[in-house]
Structure formats: C-alpha cells, structure tokens
Amino acid sequence: MSFEKKWNSWNNRIDEVEKFQNKMRAGHSAMKKRLIGGGKQKNVGPYKFKPSFTRALSAPPGFGAIGEDMEKEIFDSFKSQSTLEPRVFKDDSMDPVIREKLLKIAYDFLDSVDLKIKLKDILLTGSLASYNWSEYSDVDLHILVDFEKIDTDQDLVKSLTKALSSNWNLKHDIEIHGYDVEMNFEDSNNPAKTVGVYSVLNDKWKEEPTKDTGKYDVKNVEKKAESVVEMIDQVEDAMDEGDFMEAYEMGQRVKKKIRKMRQSGLEQVGVFSIQNLAFKAIRRAKQIERLDNLVQTAYDEALSLGV
C-alpha cells in the first residue's frame, strides 16, 4: 500500500472517531430533553426558568474561573525541584519497571500505526526529564524517526504523524504514577527543544538536565498568559452574541498566535522563555482546551440550521 493510500486510510479511521464524537454531541440535547424536559408539571416559583438543552462548555480552572490561588499554584509549578522525579528516576537512571512499561507502550503504538518506519530512538522529554516536574507533568514519549525517510512530502508526513499520535492519545488513557502518557513522533532532522532528553531505548541520557535553569520573570509570564486568555474571552463573547462564524475565525487566529508565540520563545530563548512558560500556564489552566472547545462548537453552530 502506498504512503498516500495509508494516509487516506488513517484519515478515514480518524474521521470515524470524530463522527462518533459529533454524534454524541448532537444527541446531547435530545437525551437531556428526554431526561428532564418531558414532565407535564408546570414550572412554578422559584423555578420558572426553562432549562437549557445545549451542551455546556467546561469551565476552565484558573485565570478567572477559580482565581488567584489557582494561578499561584500554576506559576509555582514552574519552580525547579531539588531532584528528578524519584518515582521515575533512581540515581539518575530510569526505574527499570517504568522503562519496561514505556518500551511496551512505544512498541504497541508503532504496531498500531501500520507504517514502515525505521525507529531511531524512544525518548522521554519534557518536564519529567528535568528538574521542573510537577503535578501538571505528562510522560512525553517521543518516537524519533527520520521524516525524510517516510516520504518526500514533509507537510504530509507531519500531518500524518500528528494525526496518528492524536488519535492514539484520544483512544488511550494510560498513566504512570498519575502522569498521563502522551505519544508523539519526533523528526530526527528537527529535534524538539527541551531541557532534558532520556533515551528509553538505550537507557541513558542524551541531554542531561541541569538544576539552575528554572529562572523566569513571573510577572511578565503572568501578563503574557493573561493577554492570551483575554483573546479567548473575546472568542467566547462572540459565541454568546451568536456570531458563530466570527467566533470560529477569531478562534483560529488566536490558535495561530499561540503557536507562533510559543515557537518564537523556544527559538529565541528556549524552554524558559516568557512565551513558552505563558503557553504552559494557559495549557495547565485548561485554557487551550477551552479554546479548542469554543472553536469546535462555533464551527458546528455556524453550519447548523434551526430545527
């Protein structure tokens, strides 16, 4: 099977997942009406309001939802720890039980994607591979491959590998000591910029983390994060006013700005740039998830017709 045919095949599988999610979302109103809206008793005071049958968006914690305590907790999570995560690393080496689990997960993931690729390494990256781990950390497991060896169309390869990773992450809910396992492909020609990198395949550090990298400007990070949240608020305002296509297009622009903000921070300074930490702050406060929900809902509403 050609690469393009495999891509189309995987696209169809991913579409099936999205169709199922949309079906469940579409059926929410009917189910709610059946459960709470079918009674013949008239509403009397103090309950004279008509319940909403639409699917509510999740209220995001932090940055206005929970308040300053949540914001402080998020920003405190960026501080360096005195040791690596002791349940993951023993004497600077990965716990053998965890390593065996991660290797199993990585190989099962590769088996599931049905692509002929030459594995170069299996890497643990991100905060769990550094002294900046916290309760917000994930097990960022990266499959290192040469994208150029998969196909000459690099944009297609990037789209495919991202879709395959996202699809797997949606279908699985695996935790290691409470940390979610997130699978990703990484191009060996364009490695991710991170503080520490541990080779799970070879059981050794590729880039050892240091303890003195956790200095950052709290006020400026907070200011940058709040400016992004304000933009997301504007998307929600457009939704509330019924301007669904405007909300959708605005949301897409905000997502693009967020990606550009983070990328510029990584390229200019690194993982402790104001831009990258602001991105982490809004992600940990569930604001990225909130934006994704708003954009998805705005798109669905903009293309829907009244009953």
**Mean pLDDT over residues 142-158, rounded?**
90
HEC profile of 96-108: HHHHHHHHHHHHH
pLDDT digits (tens, 9 = 90+) for 93-111: 999 999 999 999 999 999 9
**Domains, in order of start, for the chain:** 89-207 (3.30.460), 216-302 (no CATH)
Q: Which of 209, 74, 212 is nearest to 136 (CA)?
A: 74
Lowest mean pLDDT, pick from 57-71, 129-143, 221-235, 277-291: 57-71
Q: According to the model, what pLDDT value does residue 32 have?
A: 39
Q: Which of 13-27, 59-73, 150-164, 272-286 shows the lowest per-residue confidence on average (mean pLDDT)?
A: 13-27
Is 12's pLDDT higher than 80?
no
Strand pairing class (93-94; 179-187): unpaired
Q: Which of 7-16, 174-183, 273-282 has the lowest mean pLDDT?
A: 7-16
Lowest mean pLDDT among 59-63, 156-160, 250-254: 59-63
Q: What is the mean pLDDT of the chain?
A: 78
Query: What was the pLDDT predicted at 207?
Result: 92
Q: What is the pLDDT of residue 300?
A: 92
Query: How does pLDDT run across 194-232, given as a tens digit for each residue?
Result: 778 999 999 999 999 887 555 666 777 888 888 889 889
